[in-house]
Chains A and B, each alone.
Chain A
Amino acid sequence: MADLPPPVQGPTAKEKKYDRQLRLWGATGQRALEESHILLINNGPGVVGLETLKNLVLPGVGNFTILDSAVVSEADLGVNFFLEEEHVGGSRAEHTCNLLKELNPDVEGYFVSEPVESFLTNPDSLKPYTLIIVAAPIRPELLARLSEHASASSIPLFYIHSVGFYSHFSIHLPPSFPIVDTHPDPETTSDLRLLRPWPELVQFAEEKTKDLDNMAPDDHGHVPYVCLLLYYLKGWKKSHSGQPPQNYKEKTAFRDLVKNSARTNSPGGGEENYDEAVAAVLKSLNPPEPSSAVKELFKDPECLLVKEGASAFWIIAHAVSLFYTKYGVLPLPGSVPDMKARSADYIELQNVYKSKARRDVTEVTESVRFLERSIKRSTQIEEKDIEAFCKNAAHIKLVRGRPFHVMNAGKTVQWGERAKALAQNLTFQDSLIPLYIAFLAYDTFTVSHEKDGLDNPPRTPGDTDTDADVEQVTGIAFKIADDLIKEAGASIEESEYSEMKTWVGEYVQELLRAGGSELHNIAALTGGLVSQEVIKVVTEQYVPVDNTCIFDGVKSKTSVIRV
């Protein structure tokens, strides 16, 4: 076959196996997964932690370690898929690790059967791990110690709790956790700069719309809509003292102008390129304003003053903010949506956008290099990172990670600046904050009912005397809710307040009905959610939960809150 290029190298075995996920997070995301080492500190029935790991072993996380001192019991077999009959009496860490390893030969799995208390006495024991997952219940001082470690070494920490039909998890991320590759919906991201065209774009549009009225029908029907809009905008501005359509009314009038300019005598009756132009008017005729999140990023102290040792993210952010200050717009992303056009015209238009985007990147890169020299950075930031930042500048997310609540007996929860927002949501119909409060009360009860002072696990609310425990946990939950309302200084109507208390009471009852049990379905679902969030955090792609997610398996609803 002389007309064909030389034969291609087909996909590798690994690319074949991971094909369906590589289409989401790509080779860079996959590499990040493979370089990670995840520690699971497993407690309780231990299902949710393992279901989480299952969904990380399958896509090929590099390494995992299970820390679990439990001995496999008969009851484990009824809820845990990664144990078999002959494992009863053996180490749960060992056997679950082995069965999980079977899922993917590319993954290294390890286990530690030591109690978490003694494991943590070695100051270096947490060093190898790039991310830690803790399944409740765990003693608060141990959770607090893990939280300190997470803060000190900038390691993400996940805390999961799955009881009966309910679950929640919280993520403690580093205080500055930026995501460049957020994968925004392509439908919402095109930035055509029709109100801020640059000379090359203006010139291209003028060429393509030259003598538009007298064009042959086939030519007329193939003028790219970007050029049509620029052409009619020019006409509009002439009769509107140089201003483009300002408000909804003017934009609709402009849209009608474009619509009525389409030829109706064409063979298909109407012109597709004009239809596209009409459809694009309302969303494309907006000044290219960066989102409030991006503007906030520019005002961040870390962005305003780049110091020695600053991360690549903040150096590029500073350079982009300089660009924004200078031009009033972000660097051009440079992509063009598909539109009715002749191939050559479309490719030319694409190149007009691409070369402008490239010039913008060059300008930002110059600022980056200047900054690098001024803070004496030893290595240069890679060009592709600067390019990725510029391309996605409008959609960059910065998550401000923070520790989650660790319940300690006798101490009240500090809600801080979040108190107001949470208290406001507390009484909303469908709010899951009452469920979160029920979980906090559950943890508090556990802390104050330790079986002994040392290694034994705390008592589980609802395990034997459900009614007495319900009363106690409900009391704790009401106090947490009252303290929240007080801290927020909120005033709540009596009827709303009593309704909220009913919800809290019902959540506590349903939680305690389980007597500390995990239901496999709820653990599997929660394990799915947590593994998804671990993947986002490890690959630094998509947008992670900030910072707590609650699941109600009775109503089949989730809610994300920031605490």
Chain B
Amino acid sequence: MDEATGTGLPNRPGAQRMRWKYLDNILTRHGPFTDPDWEPGEAAIEGLARAKLLGAGGLGCEILKNLALSGFQDIHVIDMDTIDVSNLNRQFLFRQADVGKYKAEVAAKFVEKRVKGVKITPYCGKIQDKDEEYYKQFAIIVCGLDSIEARRWINATLVGMVDDQDPDSMKPLIDGGTEGFKGQARVIFPTMTSCIECQLDMHAPRAAVPLCTLATIPRQPQHCIEWAHIIAWEEERKDITLDNDDPEHITWLYQKALTRAQEFNIPGVTYSMTQGVVKNIIPAIASTNAIVAASCCNEAFKLATSTNPFLGFPGTDNYMMYTGDESIYTYTFQHMKKSDCPVCGDDNIARPLQVDSDFTLQEFLDSLAERPEAQLKKPSIRSQEKSLYYQFPPDLREQTRPNLSKKLYELVQNGEEVVITDPAFPLTFKYKLVFK
């Protein structure tokens, strides 16, 4: 059946390149913005074919398609997730029958089949599973990760890999993210330009509702849902681990929230809202994902081929912000590197931080979760003098736990430096605590 599976065209001399006729117009011609020293033609074409790229995250489907049709031929993909039915409205490589399978595997197989000649190597797991040796093999890393933790981890890892003596150790990171009709694409040259940690305050976390509001004076339907989620479950179903994907669990929370809302005459609790609050669901649509992923891959293509200037070149724009709900608006600008960035800062200086000396250590640590530039969930802290609180190992945690209820002024001097770490990130934060 060989004749039936193909037209025989690819075997014709030159047919393989016929396929890239459109791309080759760009690869074989100078443009008004290309570097005069840039050599179009053979070298550019070969360079593109040789470059090994890594794609990852929720924008993976778009990224793989775009990279494959940009002429890249050796692409790796990392994704730990399995396919959920709610992915099907935008992740176009997956079908109903694929629900439950690993995303990376299904996506790699699909694109390999559709775009002949491209090799896609999937890894079904976390980006944190891989080490520097692994990341070293890539020319560019394109990420559309869903979680801020994963972004900060890959960023810190790539910054940590840079060796001044070895130019090949610097791996450009192209990052895209979306939320509803909004998104951003940015290019980072680790240690040379503003990194994800430098830009952390661009994505401030939403302020949490105080516990006392949930416990005593709920006013919004969301307060009732959070109450069911945080307080009622703990009180009534302590022995069962809450599974956000278990409909029975969501139904239980919904009914609890509804009862509480009725008690307080609060309208508006729905099943869908319960799911949204508990799972922290962010709206996501095909169009925004397409825009942001294509923007990232366009930068990767320009970077790999020198066919045009790219975002992220030191001293130029490195960030494109996109908003599509009210007409279309983009803001493309240069985000400046921060000299006190805990990841890429030149000097290892401590940032001054105003604190209330009446705060307990626990209150202070909780506040770090909400600080836009820190956003730490499991911080450990030590001062110059002593270990104040450690999450790990368990014996040190037990030993330092009593400090949590002590006031800051009992533990540190005004102006003293503290070092904070979090197991989620390979980096340390240094703060100089200044009492209010």
**Interface residues, chain A, with chain B CB atoms under 8 Å away:** 3-5, 7-8, 10-11, 13, 15-24, 45, 51, 54-55, 58-60, 74-75, 77-81, 84-86, 88-89, 102-105, 164-165, 182-183, 222, 269, 338-339, 341-344, 346-347, 462, 466, 505-506, 509-510, 513-515, 517-522, 524-525, 527-529, 531-533, 535, 542-546, 549, 553-558, 560
In the bound complex, what is the Cα–Cα distance between A362 and B259 (angstroms)?
32
Q: List 10 A-B contacts (CB under 8 A).
A: A5-B255, A17-B85, A20-B283, A21-B285, A45-B22, A75-B21, A77-B19, A78-B20, A521-B294, A529-B328
In the bound complex, what is the Cα–Cα distance between A85 and B9 (angstroms)?
9
Q: Which 3 A-B pairs have the closest CB atoms?
A: A528-B290, A517-B22, A528-B291
Residue of A nearest to B95 (CB): A102
Given contacts A78-B69, A183-B325, contact A5 B259 (CB under 8 A): yes
Question: Does B247 sit at the interface, judged by CB under 8 A?
Answer: yes
Asked if residues A510 and B251 are in contact (CB atoms below 8 Å), the reply is no
Residue of B nearest to A341 (CB): B219
In the bound complex, what is the Cα–Cα distance between A368 and B366 (angstroms)?
54
In the bound complex, what is the Cα–Cα distance between A26 and B253 (angstroms)?
23
Asked if residues A554 and B308 are in contact (CB atoms below 8 Å), the reply is yes
Contact of A17 among B86, B283, B317, B327 (CB under 8 A): B86
Contact of A542 among B181, B247, B309 (CB under 8 A): B181
**Interface residues, chain B, with chain A CB atoms under 8 Å away:** 4-7, 9-10, 15, 18-23, 25-26, 29-33, 62, 65-66, 69-71, 85-86, 88-90, 92, 95-96, 114-116, 180-181, 185, 217-220, 247, 251-252, 254-256, 258-259, 264-266, 271-272, 275-276, 281-291, 293-295, 297-299, 301-302, 308-309, 311, 317, 320, 324-330, 332, 358
Q: Known A-B contacts: A58-B286, A505-B32, A510-B33. Give 7 more (CB < 8 A).
A: A78-B21, A79-B23, A84-B114, A165-B298, A182-B326, A528-B286, A532-B287
In the bound complex, what is the Cα–Cα distance between A557 and B29 (angstroms)?
23
Asked if residues B294 and A524 are in contact (CB atoms below 8 Å), the reply is yes
A22 cross-chain contacts in B, Cβ below 8 A: 272
Asked if residues A24 and B290 are in contact (CB atoms below 8 Å), the reply is no
In the bound complex, what is the Cα–Cα distance between A128 and B330 (angstroms)?
35
Asked if residues B19 and A75 are in contact (CB atoms below 8 Å), the reply is yes
B26 cross-chain contacts in A, Cβ below 8 A: 164-165, 513-514, 517, 519
Asked if residues B264 and A343 are in contact (CB atoms below 8 Å), the reply is yes
Asked if residues A521 and B301 are in contact (CB atoms below 8 Å), the reply is yes
Residue of A nearest to B307 (CB): A165
In the bound complex, what is the Cα–Cα distance between A311 and B6 (angstroms)?
56
Asked if residues A20 and B281 are in contact (CB atoms below 8 Å), the reply is yes
Given contacts A521-B301, A528-B294, contact A58 B22 (CB under 8 A): no
A346 cross-chain contacts in B, Cβ below 8 A: 217, 219
Min distance, Cβ A121 to any Cβ of chain B, angstroms: 32
In the bound complex, what is the Cα–Cα distance between A290 and B26 (angstroms)?
51
Contact of A24 among B9, B181, B309 (CB under 8 A): B181
B291 cross-chain contacts in A, Cβ below 8 A: 525, 528-529, 532
A509 cross-chain contacts in B, Cβ below 8 A: 31-32
Residue of A nearest to B290 (CB): A528
Asked if residues A343 and B217 are in contact (CB atoms below 8 Å), the reply is yes
In the bound complex, what is the Cα–Cα distance between A156 and B92 (angstroms)?
26
Asked if residues B29 and A343 are in contact (CB atoms below 8 Å), the reply is no
Asked if residues A74 and B9 are in contact (CB atoms below 8 Å), the reply is yes
Given contacts A54-B286, A86-B5, A341-B219, contact A506 B33 (CB under 8 A): yes
Contact of A85 among B6, B247, B283 (CB under 8 A): B6
Asked if residues B89 and A21 are in contact (CB atoms below 8 Å), the reply is yes
Residue of A nearest to B86 (CB): A19
Min distance, Cβ A529 to any Cβ of chain B, angstroms: 6
A462 cross-chain contacts in B, Cβ below 8 A: 25
Given contacts A17-B88, A74-B15, A532-B291, contact A556 B66 (CB under 8 A): no
Contact of A531 among B30, B31, B32, B286 (CB under 8 A): B286
B15 cross-chain contacts in A, Cβ below 8 A: 74
Given contacts A55-B287, A85-B6, A347-B266, contact A525 B33 (CB under 8 A): no
Residue of B nearest to A531 (CB): B287
B70 cross-chain contacts in A, Cβ below 8 A: 519-521
Asked if residues A81 and B22 are in contact (CB atoms below 8 Å), the reply is no
Contact of B251 among A10, A165, A342, A556 (CB under 8 A): A10
Residue of A nearest to B33 (CB): A554
Min distance, Cβ B278 to any Cβ of chain A, angstroms: 13
In the bound complex, what is the Cα–Cα distance between A342 and B215 (angstroms)?
12
B324 cross-chain contacts in A, Cβ below 8 A: 529, 532
Given contacts A78-B20, A560-B328, contact A58 B281 (CB under 8 A): no
Min distance, Cβ A273 to any Cβ of chain B, angstroms: 12
In the bound complex, what is the Cα–Cα distance between A340 and B264 (angstroms)?
15
Asked if residues B327 and A546 are in contact (CB atoms below 8 Å), the reply is yes
A13 cross-chain contacts in B, Cβ below 8 A: 85
Min distance, Cβ B408 to any Cβ of chain A, angstroms: 15
**Max chain A C-beta neighbours (<10 A), residue from B95, B298, B301:** B298
Asked if residues A554 and B309 are in contact (CB atoms below 8 Å), the reply is yes
Residue of B nearest to A169 (CB): B328
Asked if residues B7 and A342 are in contact (CB atoms below 8 Å), the reply is no
A466 cross-chain contacts in B, Cβ below 8 A: 29
In the bound complex, what is the Cα–Cα distance between A182 and B326 (angstroms)?
8
Asked if residues B33 and A86 are in contact (CB atoms below 8 Å), the reply is no
In the bound complex, what is the Cα–Cα distance between A15 and B271 (angstroms)?
11
B327 cross-chain contacts in A, Cβ below 8 A: 543-546, 560
A84 cross-chain contacts in B, Cβ below 8 A: 114
**Max chain B C-beta neighbours (<10 A), residue from A18, A88, A514, A521:** A521
